[in-house]
Amino acid sequence: MSQSIIELKDVNIYQGKSLVLSNVNISLNKGEFVYLVGKTGSGKSSLLKTLYGDLELTEGTGWVVGHNLRELTWKTVPFLRRNLGVVFQDFQLLTDRNVNENLKFVLKATGWKDEKLMDERIAEVLDKVNLKTKGFKMPFELSGGEQQRIDIARALLNSPKLILADEPTGNLDPETSDEIMQLLFHISRDFDTTILMATHDYMVINKYPARTIKTEAGHVIDNSRITI
């Protein structure tokens, strides 16, 4: 039986008082890789922000990694975020500290205390993204592709059931984009991690086909049976 990681039913999503997406009904299962596409301003970011608790859900039913989005408070949002990872287009690494310190910052922020366990976990995730020797590098010493791999490593720190990737190949050249896509599919397949990836890059979608959902005209359309 498939385990549901994201379940939205009859959901309306607002930015302030403006309705951005209405009557959203989507379900993503454990280990599934899904693209989220749509024009700029069509609601992709608002949907992602709702899923990681940055936008309050006030209408409809929403569950993400076992957390009821309607019941989230500022105290419980961190518990939701410990079960998911977010990968950004612009990496958002802290520029004043090295890779290891960037990753340790996240672990401490999510409740880790033991220094030895933190060091072991950091070594594990850097190994998963093939950057085992880069822990003492500063972000500016890394290529764009390496910074994106560090961003993915950061998202893996708490062994999340879900990764939300917002345009992770948006600032990368085609060859580096290929490497990042292969890494994301490997994580989804080998660690049974659900990945929802927002993208504008249809070349990537054509090369690495997967189920696709689309934000359009205030709705979310599940294109899982449509070839792009």
Written as one letter, the residue type at 64 is: V
What is the per-residue pLDDT for 197? 96
Task: For the beta carbon of residue 194, count every other beta carbon within 10 angstroms.
Answer: 24
Please, what is the average pLDDT of the chain? 92
Give percent of the chain above pLDDT 90. 79
pLDDT exceeds 80 at position 227: no
Q: Which residue has the higher pLDDT, 43 or 110?
A: 43
Q: What angle do CA 125, 104, 159 make, to 5 degrees?
A: 40
Q: What is the pLDDT of residue 228?
A: 41
The DSSP result for 4-52, as a single string, is EEEEEEEEEEEETTEEEEEEEEEEEETT-EEEEE--TTSSHHHHHHHHT
Helix (H, G, I), strand (E, B) or coil at 85: strand
pLDDT at 170: 86
Residue 70 has pLDDT above 50, yes or no: yes
> Measured between alpha carbons, how far is 215 from 201 in angstroms, rounded to an integer?
15
Residue 89 has pLDDT above 80, yes or no: no
Task: Find, among 54, 62, 16, the residue nearest to 220 by Cα.
Answer: 62
- Quick check: 226 pLDDT over 50? no
Residue 16, phi then psi, degrees to nearest 5: 65, -125
pLDDT at 78: 84
The full set of domain ranges for the chain reads 1-83+160-228, 87-159
Q: What local confidence, expressed as pLDDT, does residue 49 receive?
A: 93
* Average pLDDT of span 210-228: 80
pLDDT of amino acid 225: 47
Write down the pLDDT at residue 2.
61
On the question of pLDDT at 3 being above 90, the answer is no
What pLDDT score does 160 carry?
93
Question: How high is the pLDDT of residue 171?
Answer: 83
Helix 144-156 to helix 115-128 angle, to the nearest 10 degrees?
130
Which CATH number among 3.40.50.620, 3.30.1490.20, 1.10.3720.10, 3.40.50.300 corresponds to the domain 1-83+160-228? 3.40.50.300
CB 210 within 8 A of CB 35: yes
Encode pLDDT of 161-215 as tens digits. 999 999 999 888 899 999 999 999 999 999 999 999 999 888 999 999 999 999 9
Least confident segment among 1-5, 119-123, 214-218: 1-5
